[in-house]
């Protein structure tokens, strides 16, 4: 449908949200580079939402790049693979970006880079959807925008869900990050074929690749490719209004289709499946090339980084090694964030490994790190901008007072942890930190209750 530019600007967005500086200029024009072969990697068994993978190797085992080290332990779980060839040095507990110690496997590289691959499925258009989903599961594909939700679960909707639309999330609304943008420019064919693979699995007619309008080169290129190839004629490249957090699934579904997702429901309940653009490329690699998920693109940037880059990095390389490679001035670094500045995690240690869902490493110096907090002035700014339509300031106060039942009753679990509330707060209160603490406590308490019932 043809609409005016003004109508388009209003149409493809969502209520609430903010407009932080993009800060993408430093890396947006830098092509993807390959990180040098590391001497060792540490592969965590938990790089996804769900249960940790079960280790199937032991100390002293020889492994190839792409060899499975730990198998999925349930439906909502994902296997992990070695990102180098070499020898298993340790199976134990290692530091993790979450701040907790997590089981993992340390591999010492033999520098040979011997590789295991699955048999490519070149005739995937003729295969049953279940065959393609099984391959995606076997290759450990997860959501690579940050959440790490196993892709095969999203691609296996229950029979009662009437899925009619696939949305490829290429918004990349987080400031600083440019890894998805470079994928669209440097690996565009894989993006399009990966989207067709997802379309084949879901059996849908409508496919949107949703890109924020601050990436005009990517939009123009994808539009040209789809316009000149009948294979992609049913895809629509959709320019979205540039606003944070446009890449949130519920916000994206509303922006693209104007469909509201009720509280406690998922995008499937609105007839949609959303997949990140990096996950789409990983699915291409799994189906067409038989390559499991062992590497990803990481944007390394920030005021403390001497040589910012978009790096193709093996999973398991330590953050410290990557920052050293990018000539980081550690004497000025105040904070290192895994991910973007809004939803990323401030790292407790630089010795944690890059994971499947690590989209960026952001180094902030003294002048860019957050200043101290003041008292809440009850201005309501966080409420007016909250894309989840909850009351962040009130939930933060419940968290401070350990009133977790009240927080749960007031929809704290609907929080998408986008950080809009903390960003907009004039008192510089870290509202998101308090909400995350309460959510984690509620999840732990629910798990303990379930465990107690099962024991009885």
pLDDT tens for 10-50 read: 468 888 899 999 999 999 999 999 999 999 999 999 999 88
Position 11 scores a pLDDT of 65
CA distance 140 to 52: 12
Task: List the helix and strand counts (H, then E) for the chain.
Answer: 14, 17
Is the pLDDT confidence value at 304 over 70?
Answer: yes
Query: Are 236 and 334 members of one domain?
Result: no
CA distance 356 to 298: 10
Quickly state the pLDDT bin for 100 (edges 50, 70, 90): confident
Position 257 scores a pLDDT of 94
Query: Are 343 and 390 members of one domain?
Result: no
Interior/surface letters 202-218, b for 16+ CB within 10 angstroms, e for the rest: bebebbbbbbbbbbeeb
Quickly state the pLDDT bin for 7 (edges 50, 70, 90): very low
Is the pLDDT confidence value at 79 over 60?
Answer: yes
Quickly state the pLDDT bin for 8 (edges 50, 70, 90): very low
Tell me, yes or no, whether 107 lies in a domain. Answer: yes
Q: Which residue's entry shows tokens 């789809």?
A: 226
Q: Which domain holds residue 46?
A: 32-117+292-365
Is the pLDDT confidence value at 104 over 50?
Answer: yes
Is the pLDDT confidence value at 5 over 80?
Answer: no
Of 241, 265, 289, the residue at which a domain comes to its end is 289
Q: What is the CA radius of gyration of the chain?
A: 22
Query: Are 239 and 129 members of one domain?
Result: yes
Is the pLDDT confidence value at 421 over 80?
Answer: yes
CA distance 4 to 12: 12
Measured from the Cβ of residue 295, the count of other Cβ atoms closer than 10 Å reads: 24
SS (H, E, C) 151-192: HHHHCCCCCCCCCCEEEEEECCCCCCCCHHHHHHHHCHHHHH
What average pLDDT does range 344-361 have in this prediction?
94
Tell me, yes or no, whether 372 lies in a domain. Answer: no
pLDDT tens digits along 184-203: 999 999 999 999 999 999 99
Is the pLDDT confidence value at 1 over 60?
Answer: no
Of 365, 399, 425, the residue at which a domain comes to its end is 365
Position 453 scores a pLDDT of 67
What average pLDDT does range 246-259 have in this prediction?
93
Strands (DSSP E) contained in 325-451 are: 333-338, 345-346, 360-365
What average pLDDT does range 316-325 have in this prediction?
98
* β-pair partners for 296: 313
Tell the burial category of 331 from Cβ atoms under 10 Å away from its Cβ (0-12, 13-18, 19+): exposed
Is the pLDDT confidence value at 370 over 70?
Answer: no
What average pLDDT does range 151-179 have in this prediction?
95
Query: Are 227 and 140 members of one domain?
Result: yes
SS3 405: helix
Tell me, yes or no, whether 371 lies in a domain. Answer: no
Query: Are 144 and 170 members of one domain?
Result: yes
Cα torsion 110, 298, 155, 207 to 10°: value is -140
CA distance 422 to 426: 9
Give the predicted TM-score (pTM) of the model: 0.91
* β-pair partners for 239: 211
DSSP 143: -
Q: Which residue's entry shows tokens 């004629």?
A: 233
Quickly state the pLDDT bin for 132 (edges 50, 70, 90): very high
Tell me, yes or no, whether 394 lies in a domain. Answer: yes
Tell me, yes or no, whether 375 lies in a domain. Answer: no
Q: Which residue's entry shows tokens 């507990």?
A: 93
CA distance 200 to 370: 46
Q: How far is CA 141 from the centre of its chain?
A: 11
Q: Which of 220, 221, 279, 272 is nearest to 251 (CA)?
A: 272
Number of structural domains (the chain) is 3
SS3 content of the chain, % helix, strand, coil (to 5): 30, 20, 45
CA distance 221 to 189: 11
Strands (DSSP E) contained in 189-302 are: 206-212, 235-240, 272-276, 295-301
CA distance 179 to 199: 23
Q: What is the CATH number for 311?
A: 3.10.20.600
Query: Are 417 and 281 members of one domain?
Result: no
Tell me, yes or no, whether 158 lies in a domain. Answer: yes
Query: Are 11 and 158 members of one domain?
Result: yes
What average pLDDT does range 96-118 have in this prediction?
93
SS3 311: strand
CA distance 212 to 395: 30
Backbone angles phi, psi at 95, to 5 degrees: -60, 150
Query: Are 317 and 423 members of one domain?
Result: no
Is the pLDDT confidence value at 3 over 90?
Answer: no
CA distance 149 to 145: 9
Quickly state the pLDDT bin for 399 (edges 50, 70, 90): very high
Query: Are 132 and 218 members of one domain?
Result: yes
Query: Are 212 and 155 members of one domain?
Result: yes
Query: Are 272 and 144 members of one domain?
Result: yes
SS3 88: strand
Task: Give whole-number Cα distances, 370 to 299, 349, 367, in Å.
Answer: 21, 19, 8
Of 289, 322, 354, the residue at which a domain comes to its end is 289
Query: Are 176 and 315 members of one domain?
Result: no
Q: What is the CATH number for 285?
A: 3.40.50.11540
Q: In what order do the strands lie in the sheet with 272-276?
A: 235-240, 206-212, 165-170, 272-276
Q: Which of 322, 317, 355 is nearest to 339 (CA)?
A: 355
Tell me, yes or no, whether 90 lies in a domain. Answer: yes
- The DSSP line for 188-213 is HHHHHHHHHHHHHHHT-SEEEEEEET
Tell me, yes or no, whether 357 lies in a domain. Answer: yes
């Amino acid at each position: 449908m043809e609409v005016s530019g003004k109508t388009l600007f209003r149409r493809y967005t969502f209520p609430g949200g903010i407009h932080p500086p993009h800060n993408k200029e430093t890396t947006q024009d830098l092509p993807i580079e390959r990180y040098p072969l590391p001497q060792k990697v540490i592969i965590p068994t938990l790089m996804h939402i769900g249960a940790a993978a079960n280790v199937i190797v032991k100390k002293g085992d020889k492994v190839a790049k792409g060899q499975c080290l730990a198998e999925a332990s349930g439906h909502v779980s994902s296997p992990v693979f070695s990102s180098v060839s070499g020898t298993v040095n340790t199976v134990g507990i290692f530091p993790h970006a979450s701040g907790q110690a997590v089981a993992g496997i340390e591999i010492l590289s033999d520098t040979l880079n011997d590789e295991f691959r699955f048999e490519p499925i070149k005739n995937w258009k003729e295969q049953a959807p279940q065959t393609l989903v099984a391959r995606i599961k076997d290759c450990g594909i997860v959501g690579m925008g940050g959440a790490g939700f196993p892709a095969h679960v999203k691609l296996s909707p229950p029979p009662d869900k009437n899925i009619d639309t696939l949305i490829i999330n290429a918004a990349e609304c987080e400031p600083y990050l440019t890894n998805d943008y470079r994928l669209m420019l440097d690996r565009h064919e894989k993006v399009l074929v990966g989207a067709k693979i997802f379309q084949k699995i879901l059996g849908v007619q409508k496919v949107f690749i949703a890109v924020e309008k601050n990436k005009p080169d990517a939009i123009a290129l994808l539009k040209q490719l789809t316009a000149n190839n009948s294979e992609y004629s049913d895809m629509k490249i959709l320019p979205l209004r540039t606003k944070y957090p446009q890449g949130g699934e519920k916000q994206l579904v509303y922006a693209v289709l104007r469909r509201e997702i009720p509280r406690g429901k998922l995008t499937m309940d609105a007839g949609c499946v959303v997949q990140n653009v990096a996950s789409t490329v990983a699915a291409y690699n799994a189906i067409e090339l038989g390559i499991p998920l062992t590497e990803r693109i990481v944007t390394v940037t920030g005021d403390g980084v001497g040589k910012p880059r978009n790096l193709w990095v093996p999973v398991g390389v330590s953050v410290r090694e990557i920052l050293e490679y990018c000539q980081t001035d550690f004497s000025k670094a105040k904070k290192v964030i895994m991910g973007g500045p809004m939803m990323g995690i401030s790292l407790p240690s630089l010795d944690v490994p890059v994971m499947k869902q690590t989209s960026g490493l952001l180094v902030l110096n003294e002048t860019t790190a957050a200043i101290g907090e003041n008292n809440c002035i009850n201005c309501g700014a966080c409420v007016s901008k909250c894309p989840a339509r909850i009351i962040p300031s009130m939930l933060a106060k419940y968290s401070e007072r350990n009133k977790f039942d009240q927080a749960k009753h007031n929809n704290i679990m609907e929080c998408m942890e986008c950080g809009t509330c903390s960003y907009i707060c004039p008192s510089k209160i870290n509202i998101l930190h308090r909400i995350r603490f309460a959510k984690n406590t509620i999840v732990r308490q629910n798990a303990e209750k379930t465990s107690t019932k099962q024991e009885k």
